[in-house]
Structure 1
Amino acid sequence: MSGVVTTYHQRVAQEKRALIVTAATALFLELGYDRTSLARIAERSGVSRATLFKQFPTKAALFDAIVTESWSTADEEDPPPAGNVVDGLGIIGRRYAELLGRAQMTDLFRIVIAELPRFPELAHAQFSHGKMPYFESVRDYLLAEHEAGTVRIEDVDLAATQFLGMISNYVFWPTLLVPGWEVSAERVGQVVDEAVRTIAARYAVTGSVRRGRPARRRPNAEPL
């Protein structure tokens, strides 16, 4: 019985957390980060202030949670196994396009861009908690393919940036600049397929090719 009660309380806590994050995101967009108080977020989300403060003691902690959840992938999928770079990048590319297509991702970037002059720490949080961890997962996959001998990549950071940039520059960034910009599911698939083909044409090893130098890691690389 205690296990059932614990599960119930966990579910309720998760539901309240989701309500808080949704309300906070809407208010940050509507009023701006500075003018949005935790008390106002509690009121909008329909939870008590005590409940909100228990989960998010500061507004910065709440924003960090928004970033982390926006960049998390559905069910936290494992990276594809190394051995077939075309299939692997196809899986990663479709996941990335789906991630960028979420409404909360567009909202997140709009908040960061709008508040950047006064709150540069928001951009830092977005980069360090969201963008960079995702970029590193793609970089690690390409490194695994390099070590498996399926690709030869001297600069794995650059290759990961190239791949993600080909997708985001078509399916995501215009949504922030062009009113009504929409990309059909069919077109998204084409964009991902072309990005995969481009990377494979540049880096894939054909036949029996002697493995090159280990792919370089540059911790200060900045993904697009």
Structure 2
Amino acid sequence: MDPNVTHQRLTDRKRLAVITAAIEEFLAAGFDATSMDRIAARASVSKRTVYNHFPSKEALFAEILRQLWDASHTADSPVYRADQPLRPQLLELLSRKLKLMNDDAFLALARVAIAAGIHSPERARDMVARLSEREEDLTIWVRAAAADRRLQTSDPMFAAQELQGLVKAFAFWPQVTMGQPPLTPDEQAKVADSAADMFLARYAGSST
């Protein structure tokens, strides 16, 4: 075994341990009360190791936000297809989103980000600015369908946010803020079907 490869794997494991410990500490104590010392202790690494990977608590939190984004925006996401009906495409996107929102790790990261934002409006604005630099799969799809004149809207981002709101009202906010259980597969299908029908009735007319 190449010693350089072995060292890299150990470094990667320690980095992952630090991120995991940070998420747990942020959830347990909140952003402001969490220290790099506590993160190091929970990760079973030295404080120097933590700083070798992340120069500050803010940088570590930014990495958590990046992971939250990456989880919701995968490279193999379905893209808009002009030659296909709208409803099956939309249901595929919504089903993927609902599956993600059923993931415990994703919900944990979301709780960290939201709690940090609540306690620091400035940090919340920074989070929104970071995430606004890139568009989610649904927004990209809505924008493409609108450009193809199959959705009737002059503001695709607003329309996409409406659609997000329909889904998150059942499959995100109750779980993140009130500890409700994730939706069952049947419940996810019901939410996807209803959200797709309401959205297309508003913006697509007969072009479904």
- In the TM superposition, residue 168 of structure 1 has moved relative to its aligned partner by 0.3
The runs of at least 4 aligned residues of structure 1 exceeding 6 Å deviation read none
CA distance in 2, matches of 1:45, 1:119: 26
TM-score (norm 1): 0.76
Quick one: percent identity of the two aligned structures?
A: 28
- Which residue of the partner structure matches residue 204 of structure 1? 204
Distance 1:186 1:15, change over 3 A: farther
State the TM-score, normalizing by the size of structure 2.
0.81
* Number of matched pairs: 204
From the superposition, tell whether residues 192 and 149 of structure 1 become closer, same or farther in structure 2 (CA, over 3 Å): same
Contact 1:100–1:172 (Cα < 8 Å) also in 2: yes
- What CA RMSD, in Å, does the superposition of the two structures yield over aligned residues? 2.7
Q: Which segment is superposed worse, 103-112 or 44-53? A: 103-112
Aligned counterparts of 1:6 and 1:150: Cα–Cα separation in 2: 54
SS at match of 2:32: coil
Partner AA of 1:18 in structure 2: L
Instruction: After TM superposition, give the deviation of residue 121 of structure 1 in Å.
Output: 3.5
Matches within 5 A, 1:12-161: 12-73=10-71, 75-83=74-82, 84=84, 85-116=86-117, 118-130=119-131, 132=132, 135-161=135-161
Please give the per-residue CA displacement for 1:25-60, whole angstroms capped at 9, x wherever unaligned.
Answer: 111122222221112211211223232212210100
Deviation at 1:156? 0.7
| Deviation digits for residues 166-199 of structure 1 (CA, Å, limit 9, x no counterpart) | 1001111112443444421210121012111222
Q: What is the letter of the counterpart of residue 65 of structure 1?
A: E
**Alignment-derived partner of residue 163 in structure 2:** 163
Distance 2:200 2:60 in 1: 40
Distance 2:16 2:100 in 1: 18
Letter of the 2:153 partner, please give it: I
- Which deviates more from structure 2 when the two are superposed, residues 167-176 or residues 146-155? 146-155
Distance in 1, Cα, partners of 2:98 & 2:127: 18
SS of residue in 2 equivalent to 1:73: helix
Q: How far did residue 109 of structure 1 move?
A: 4.1
Q: In structure 2, how many angstroms separate the alpha carbons of the residues matched to 1:37 and 1:67?
A: 18
| Structure 2 residue ranges without an equivalent (≥5) | none
Q: Residues 200 and 134 of structure 1: is their aligned pair in 2 closer, same or farther, counting only changes over 3 Å?
A: farther
